[in-house]
Chains A and B, each alone.
Chain A
């Protein structure tokens, strides 16, 4: 049985599954229920200075596919709306009652040294294992100069990280906003400020949908709406890329990463860990299904690791990083052709129309003897783009077969058609 225990920024955790700072970690009641289900840790909902914020109704909007499955949620909820003292007392109680679980205190304050330091000291005194700096909230708080208003300015990221480092002796996680151009810039700023780890991504700025009857964004608050923070499955690819960027950048590669963004299953978690994350944080999936989802995350990850022969998370942590490269490092002589299995083909024609209308006109329709139709790949026109395989509704019906062309690895910098090479040759 695989060992899921791990250490994240020096903090030991029974498993890599933490709940992210969000509504599910708003109070002791929820946190205890989460620990009972097996979550390794929680990042408490972000604490601010008193008086507490006041929230509006309603707060969530859902982006769904045709079948009604949730692709993502956005929210306009602010940070904890309960008095600081109440939160700190409950954190202390949870620490005492659940000594083997991790509690990280998330915090934000206005851009003043005193404010950050005083709040950090109070939260650390409640016994948290670490402090996470919420520099990402993209709605409401940023209008007051907090959250992403700080996270989008690298100097402020560095300063707030340093301020907190200076007054506490526990690990500091700087939580990054994805609402920037290049994630490496704030990641490097966090590193400069002394962060032990970065947590990413925070939510993506978004309008979830527009109510066309009321002509207002959803969710509507008295017939008006605002932008909110987007999370859930839909943001996972964005998060994976940002995590990979930090993990493979030589300046930031030693920063520990607490990965966040659309983690629904053990497989999602394994992907982030393969790209270098020390642990993961989950929110949306728990909001949709409850804390019980961690049970399959633990079980599924453990079974997969057993199957692969990984005893600990470290055995595969970061294993996908060397294979995550820039486009310029890809082998341009690698060639694939689509292969359609006539036996399993149900003749829906999706591969044909996708290729015909939007790709390379490389799938021909032929009439079959005795009725029906056959879809045939024209090898000379197939560029191996994969689109047909993705739109095919039958598992395994379309395979991408490697062409054994005997050609050596060739990258764009060495490619004869690269204008830079032509210029050099001339």
Chain B
């Protein structure tokens, strides 16, 4: 006889627990909390936060608009300068940009939560447009010009949106199956929940006049010279597709992976628990990607995650907020160590590190070595330009050289974002590059038209 048992809520499965761990890092502000936070803003004149924003968003105005209940206007103020304001609100290191410049810091008060407020306004408008409201920006009269964009990341899409708005027709060539670039493939899952990268791209394309062709990699499926022939202008925003190598023994062992490739797999895997992860993970690097990879490995269930950086904590490019986040997530951070060999039999088993020190300003190995066990090594030591298909373009510091107005060394070819010599490895800077390059292209095309007359 089976006795009837009271219904108990079943405890969440391992997969559900892991998915839960990837929920929003900062939950969205409620309307009330947003207005309260907006009310703390002093509405500074010629505000320092505006100057600290690479895209120059009029921050006091958009915050005032939240306060007055004009959310559409607020979002438009943001998006007019930064069409990817939604991603930047989530992923920008605001503590070293706008929020660092907030005058309230000087008054020993907390800075305004500019990122959270920006997300509040932009999310509202994106939801409205997905529900059928018109795109907030209109296209100018058609110019009859067509432009090819290579790369559907932040720089390419920001370029495409601004150029489409100015009346040009845009075709974007993208090697991967989805648009968004690092927004889709490289940012931590908990910063971009609910498929935000794709929702944002769909919103951006709502302006019209932009076609995206996927599966077209530069140098393989498409050639720069052919694009130059077929279009009035080419804009290159291909980012940095190649991972830097450690160039040490054992780098080819199974279980040694680029951190970005690990994050990409994670971002595309559902449920998250199906993402392969080791039990003993070692992350090498000191940037935000290293932190993102380390935290996410931990959230996937790795027993121990150690992040190893070759210099001191002050030199890490990961912000203080990110470093704290890592520690809160039980990531061990080891400093002043560089890998000298990866060991294992077919598969990684351990890494040998040499301790480092500064000697007259130069980083040097001390000769003292130690070994960390590892069955999964994630390399996050930076990205470099993949030179495929870039023949004829002058380079500078291993990236595409640009002059004023984002012009490359080839006539009619412009470039911006992480792939150019001035690139900063920041989404918000890539968006600014795309926007300003589009305006420069527009000016140049208009000047040409005048000459033809």
A interface vs B, CB < 8 Å?
65-68, 346-350, 352-353, 365, 393-394
Contacts and interface: CB of A to CB of B under 8 A. Distances in A.
B107 interface: yes
Interface string B40-51: 001111111000
Closest 6 CB pairs of A and B: A349-B45, A353-B45, A346-B106, A346-B103, A348-B44, A66-B39
A390 B39 CA distance: 17
B107 A393 contact: yes
B47 A346 contact: no
B67 A66 contact: yes
A362 to B, nearest CB: 15
Please classify the interface of chain A as helix (H, G, I), strand (E, B), loop, or mixed, using the class held by over half of its residues. Answer: loop
Contacts of A394: 107
Given A348-B42, A348-B103, 17 more contacts: A66-B35, A66-B38, A66-B67, A68-B32, A68-B35, A68-B39, A346-B103, A346-B107, A348-B45, A348-B47, A349-B44, A349-B46, A349-B47, A350-B42, A350-B45, A352-B45, A393-B42
B353 to A, nearest CB: 40
Contacts of B138: none
Nearest to B105: A346
A172 to B, nearest CB: 46
Interface string B91-103: 0000000000001
A350 B43 contact: yes
B67 to A, nearest CB: 5
Contacts of B38: 66
Interface in B103-136: 103-104, 106-107
22 contacts: A65-B39, A66-B38, A66-B39, A66-B67, A67-B36, A68-B35, A68-B36, A68-B39, A346-B104, A346-B106, A347-B44, A347-B48, A347-B103, A347-B106, A348-B44, A349-B46, A350-B42, A350-B43, A352-B45, A353-B45, A393-B42, A394-B107
A124 to B, nearest CB: 50
Contacts of B36: 67-68
A348 B105 CA distance: 11
A271 to B, nearest CB: 27
Contacts of B44: 347-350
Nearest to A391: B42
A397 to B, nearest CB: 9
Interface in B32-88: 32, 35-36, 38-39, 42-48, 67
A277 B42 CA distance: 38
A368 to B, nearest CB: 12
Contacts of A353: 45
A353 B42 CA distance: 12
Contacts of A68: 32, 35-36, 39
A68 B36 CA distance: 8
A394 B109 CA distance: 11
A44 B224 CA distance: 88
Contacts of A66: 35, 38-39, 67
Contacts of A67: 36, 39
Interface-central residue, A66, A67, A348, A353, by most chain B CB under 10 Å: A348
Nearest to A394: B107
Contacts of B103: 346-348
Contacts of B104: 346
B112 to A, nearest CB: 12
B317 to A, nearest CB: 22
B130 to A, nearest CB: 23
Nearest to B106: A346
Interface centre among A346, A347, A350 (most CB of B within 10 A): A346
A65 B44 CA distance: 19
A349 B48 CA distance: 10
Contacts of B107: 346, 393-394
Nearest to A356: B45
A305 to B, nearest CB: 33
A66 B67 CA distance: 7
Contacts of A352: 45
Nearest to B43: A350
